[in-house]
Amino acid sequence: MKKIAAIVFLFLFALMLWNMFAWSGDMAFHVDGDEIDGPLEALLGMLFAGGGMLVAGVVMLMVGSILAVVFAGVGILCVGGLLLGALLVALVVSPLLLPLLVPVAIVWWLVSRSRRNRLLQQPV
């Protein structure tokens, strides 16, 4: 199977080369106002298009890495700001919660006292 795949690959490559050098179509390729035609036109067109794709790939990688660093930094700042805001809100609201905390503390003390008594009464 590998031998057939290699033969098919070489055949397709030969067809691509034949198409490139035998027929350039109705394309017009201009460099500095001069029209280039024939097989050289197709070859240069593919070379410049491939170079443009290579440059576009490198640019996309660089922009992606820069955005990842920037958004990570902005995310850290946002989370830090949210934590600071939550702390400030808790500090502002805590005196208002004191009437609620007193009954909670009494219930907590009663539950812990009964648990402690229960643990002391169990035989070891």
Contact of 36 with 29, CB cutoff 8 Å? yes
pTM higher than the cut 0.85: no
Q: How many domains does the chain have?
A: 1
Domain that holds residue 9: 2-121
Residue 34 has phi, psi (to 5 degrees) of -95, 130
Confidence of residue 124 (pLDDT cuts 50, 70, 90): low
Please give the pLDDT value at position 68. 87
Average pLDDT over residues 25-39: 71
Joined together, the tokens standing for residue 35 give: 């029209």
What percent of the chain shows pLDDT beyond 70?
90
Residue closest to 29 by CA, chosen among 39, 21, 19: 39
Average pLDDT over residues 7-33: 78
Q: Distance between CA atoms of 111 and 37, rounded to whole angstroms?
A: 93
